[in-house]
């Protein structure tokens, strides 16, 4: 078979498009402004560990296949349906036996919430992908897993809520200008994945762990987008896989693990510094631990890629996805002291450092806003941010009491 006429030009065309894309992308990473950082919405009481609308419902045992797990999943789904109705919600389900299930199949349910530019075919959208696992450990009984990973899940909820209106505004403006079809640059979407079954039931092995992520990576790798789509599979449309894990203890130590995403790691580090300079972070640092991002002054080629930390990114990494692994793991002291309750300090709500949890949520919000190029569409003052919040709450018809309380206080 010979190719039809004209096909011979395509490589040349793709190269020039690639170069154009590269130039545009370079330009596009304009920093968001100080004004935007200063006015970024805050979680306020939503991270309260007893009554907070976002975090407290997750701080329960939620072992895969149990009622606790179903309740937390429902909490995520309700949040998107009520507060962020423009998001698509999808479940990806699988089952597996586990070393403690006595031959029975346990269900694992991943939840994917996504937003695409309204004009774009889903197969043409590259997505910033923000990920945390929501299951908790089978043992010890009653294990909560606040940093592992209830708090990261709540951070993602807050971040998506904080950029939602700006995404709408940006896309409406692009549509009004007819600025929607030509450039690849703008077929840019975002998704959040709440993964199930990260934890081992008995002892960590390649089959007793990562139940949800193994299933999702396999599924997305084999699912093929419609012909002529920009991306062949949902897996290949992940522009960056940002995995949050073990976040919520004070003075986190975040290393950079992959040279190809070190630039994105540095973006986070730079945003941390800007927030501190602007006095917008609540957590403090000291001279022995001036930054969360230990490798921020390293060059890309100094990052030694090692596959030491086994986590939900692995099934994606193995398939060539770009990974940014944001996990609190100090090179000499390891995971935070509450990790898996192993040192007698429980990983529960009481042991979270709430200033740090809030700061993380701001950092992730800013990172996502920058990635989605939302400068000019985000609130520029606290007052504007508050008004937007009230509007959203009214629309969703929820939290009326909270709204009244705030009005009384302000």
- Residues with catalytic roles: 198, 245
Q: Which of 22, 29, 91, 119 binds ligand NAG (CB under 6 A)?
A: 91
For the segment 95-114, give every residue that binds ligand NAG (CB under 6 A): 109
Q: What x/- string results for residues 29 through 68 when contact with ligand NAG is judged by CB under 6 A? A: ----------------------------------------
Q: Report whether 137 contacts 63 (CB < 8 A).
A: yes
Say which entry of ligand NAG, Zn ion, none residue 22 contacts (CB below 5 to 8 A, set by partner kind). Answer: none
Q: Which of 46, 124, 135, 148 binds Zn ion (CB under 5 A)?
A: 148
Structure token digits, residue 385: 């941010």
Q: Tell me: does residue 223 bind ligand NAG (CB under 6 A).
A: no
Shortest-Cβ-distance residue relative to Zn ion: 148
Say which entry of Zn ion, ligand NAG, none residue 119 contacts (CB below 5 to 8 A, set by partner kind). Answer: none
Residue 147 or 216 with smaller CB distance to Zn ion? 147
Minimum Å gap between C-beta 202 and Zn ion is 14
Minimum Å gap between C-beta 111 and ligand NAG is 8
Minimum Å gap between C-beta 137 and Zn ion is 6
Say which entry of Zn ion, ligand NAG, none residue 148 contacts (CB below 5 to 8 A, set by partner kind). Answer: Zn ion
Say which entry of ligand NAG, Zn ion, none residue 125 contacts (CB below 5 to 8 A, set by partner kind). Answer: none
Minimum Å gap between C-beta 394 and ligand NAG is 28
Say which entry of Zn ion, ligand NAG, none residue 244 contacts (CB below 5 to 8 A, set by partner kind). Answer: none
> Which H, E and C letters describe the chain, residue by residue?
CCCCCCHHHHHHHHHHHHHHHHHHHHHHCCCCCHHHHHHCCCCHHHHCCCCCCCCHHHCCCCCCCCHHHHHHHHHHHHHHHHHCCCCEEEEEEEEECCCCCCCCCEEEEEEEEEECCCCCCHHHCEEEEEEEECCCCCCCCCCCCHHHHHHHHHHHHHHHHHHHHHHHHHHHHHHHCCCCCCCHHHCEEEEEEEECCCCCCCCCCCCCCCHHHHHHHHHHHHCCCCCCCCCCCCCCCEEEEEEEECCCCCCCCECCCCHHHHHHHHHHHHHHHHHHHCCCCCCCCECCECCCECCCCCCHHHCCCCCCCCCCCHHHHCCCCCEEEEEECECCCECCCCHHHCCCCCCCHHHCCHHHHHHHHHHHHHHHHHHCCCCCCCCCCHHHHHHHHHHHHHHHCCCHHHHHHHHHHC
Q: Tell me: does residue 93 bind ligand NAG (CB under 6 A).
A: yes
Q: State the number of binding residues for ligand NAG (CB under 6 A).
A: 3
Residue 53 or 111 with smaller CB distance to ligand NAG? 111
Q: Which residues contact 305 (CB under 8 A, 6 or more apart)?
A: 257, 258, 259
Residue 135 or 328 with smaller CB distance to ligand NAG? 135
Residue 81 or 202 with smaller CB distance to Zn ion? 202
Q: Tell me: does residue 195 bind ligand NAG (CB under 6 A).
A: no
Residue 139 or 380 with smaller CB distance to Zn ion? 139
Residue 77 or 174 with smaller CB distance to ligand NAG? 77
Say which entry of ligand NAG, Zn ion, none residue 328 contacts (CB below 5 to 8 A, set by partner kind). Answer: none
Minimum Å gap between C-beta 131 and ligand NAG is 18
Q: Report whether 363 contacts 254 (CB < 8 A).
A: no
Minimum Å gap between C-beta 40 and ligand NAG is 33
For the segment 203-232, give every residue that binds Zn ion (CB under 5 A): none
Structure token digits, residue 142: 């009653």
Q: Report whether 249 contacts 338 (CB < 8 A).
A: yes
Residue 91 or 119 with smaller CB distance to ligand NAG? 91
Total residues found in the chain within this entry: 410
User: Which residues contact ligand NAG by CB under 6 A?
Assistant: 91, 93, 109
């Amino acid at each position: 078979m010979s190719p039809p006429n004209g096909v011979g030009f395509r490589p040349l065309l793709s190269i020039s498009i690639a170069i154009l894309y590269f130039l545009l992308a370079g330009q596009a990473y304009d920093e968001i402004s100080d004004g935007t950082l200063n006015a970024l919405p805050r979680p306020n009481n939503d991270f309260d560990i007893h009554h907070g609308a976002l975090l407290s419902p997750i701080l329960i045992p939620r072992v895969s296949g149990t009622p606790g797990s179903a309740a937390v999943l429902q909490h995520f789904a309700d949040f998107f349906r009520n507060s962020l109705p423009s998001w698509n919600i999808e479940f990806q389900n699988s089952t597996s036996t586990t070393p403690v299930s006595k031959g029975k199949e346990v269900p694992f349910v991943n939840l994917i919430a996504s937003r695409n530019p309204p004009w774009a075919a889903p197969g043409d959208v590259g997505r910033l992908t923000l990920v945390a696992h929501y299951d908790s450990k089978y043992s010890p009984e009653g294990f909560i897993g606040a940093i592992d990973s209830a708090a990261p899940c709540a951070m993602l909820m807050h971040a998506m809520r904080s950029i939602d209106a700006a995404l709408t505004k940006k896309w409406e403006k692009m549509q009004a200008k007819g600025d929607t079809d030509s450039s690849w640059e703008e077929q840019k979407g975002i998704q959040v994945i709440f993964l199930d079954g990260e934890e081992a039931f008995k002892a960590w092995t390649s089959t007793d762990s990562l139940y949800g992520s193994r299933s999702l990576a396999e599924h997305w790798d084999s699912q093929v987008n419609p012909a002529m789509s920009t991306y062949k599979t949902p897996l290949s449309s992940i522009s960056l896989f940002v995995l949050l894990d073990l976040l919520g203890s004070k003075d986190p130590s975040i290393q950079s693990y992959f040279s190809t995403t070190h630039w994105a790691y540095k973006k986070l580090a730079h945003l941390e510094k800007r927030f501190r300079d602007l006095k917008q972070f609540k957590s403090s640092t000291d001279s022995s631990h001036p930054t969360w991002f230990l490798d921020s002054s390293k060059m890309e080629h100094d990052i030694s890629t090692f596959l030491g930390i086994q986590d939900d990114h692995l099934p994606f990494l193995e398939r060539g996805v770009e990974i940014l692994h944001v996990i609190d793991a100090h090179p000499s002291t390891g995971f935070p002291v509450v990790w898996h309750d192993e040192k007698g300090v429980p990983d529960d709500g009481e042991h979270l450092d709430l200033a740090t949890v809030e700061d993380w949520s701001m950092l992730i919000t800013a990172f996502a806003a920058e990635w989605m190029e939302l400068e000019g569409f985000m609130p520029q003052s606290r007052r504007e941010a508050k008004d937007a919040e009230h509007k959203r709450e009214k629309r969703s018809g929820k939290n009326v009491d909270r709204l009244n309380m705030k009005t009384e206080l302000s």
